[in-house]
Amino acid sequence: MAINKIKRTTDLEISNIVQGHWRLADWQLTSKELLALTQQTIDLGITTFDHADIYGDYTCEKLFGNALKLQKGLREKIQIVTKCGIKLLSEKYPERKLKSYDYSSKHIVESVENSLRNFNTDYIDLLLLHRPSPLFNPEEVAKAFSFLKQQGKVLHFGVSNFNKTQFEMLNTFVEEPLVTNQVEISPYNLEYFINGNIDYFLTNNIKPMAWSPLAGGNLLHPTNKKGQRIFTALQEVANELSIKSVDMVIYSWLLSHPANIIPVVGTHKIERLQNAMEASSIKMNTEQWLKIYVASTGYELP
């Protein structure tokens, strides 16, 4: 299967489906098993892997790095995305008394250095700030970004869970434009359609990354009336398009949007990853797309 890439003027390339490693530690794979899964994922055309320093109580980066270490040259075939900024309460950091955010230049650089050691690599393709902080100092962030870029330790920068005002604010301080914003987008969560972020992405040619595209499973196994409404609409569209699986309809709904949304698929099941890749070839018409949107809002378009 051909690898579909997106390109920006910054020369960043990532696959149009990203494998998310948020629950990597829960998969309980050996390094050899994770290596085999990674190779299968690459063979499908998914070459980008999403991490954060805190995932798995600060274990997931190293688990992936141990697998990469088993095959020389594999690092050059993939893109690594990771995040920093959140400080969790953890037995690994007994001095912490409160969950907090830290976007000091010192912490960002130290986080990247630690991630590089975990991944057994000398560069990160894309670094994201994990969440906006009420004590955010953009000058500190810009200082760290400039240093990491000059050192060749991070190639590109972005954010996660920022609104358009926060994104614009940071963009005025950094030397190179931020390349993406990873936010929660799914037929269940329309927050970024409502708050203007999707319009902002379109205006500025920013390809957003969508975490939790299946709404934590609530779209496949609905637990409330809203989820059931959406699931019914998804089934109807799947039947109309003769699609075998509802999750393919969800991925198609995201991929067909003109904002060029990039789903982050957090699974180790190869058939789920294959469904996500195949969804890009599904041709959903406007009425079908809006049927799912309206099912989510619970009322017809004005």
Could you list the active site residues? 55
**Backbone angle region of 200, left / alpha / beta, with phi > 0 → left and psi within -120 to 50 → alpha:** alpha
Nearest CA among 12, 14, 4, 18 for reference residue 211: 18
Q: How far is CA 47 from CA 113, 133, 217, 249, in A?
A: 23, 30, 24, 22
| Gap between the Cα atoms of 53 and 58, Å rounded | 6
Q: How far is CA 9 from CA 13, 109, 153, 169, 206, in A?
A: 10, 25, 19, 21, 11
Sign of CA dihedral 32, 91, 158, 266: positive
Q: Which residues, other chains included, contact 251 with Cβ-Cβ below 8 Å and sequence gap of 6+?
A: 17, 213, 263, 265, 275, 276, 279, 280
| Gap between the Cα atoms of 54 and 117, Å rounded | 15
| Gap between the Cα atoms of 87 and 99, Å rounded | 6
CB 227 within 8 A of CB 294: no
Structure tokens at 258: 């003109």
- DSSP state, residue 93: B
Q: How far is CA 185 from CA 136, 169, 244, in A?
A: 24, 22, 23
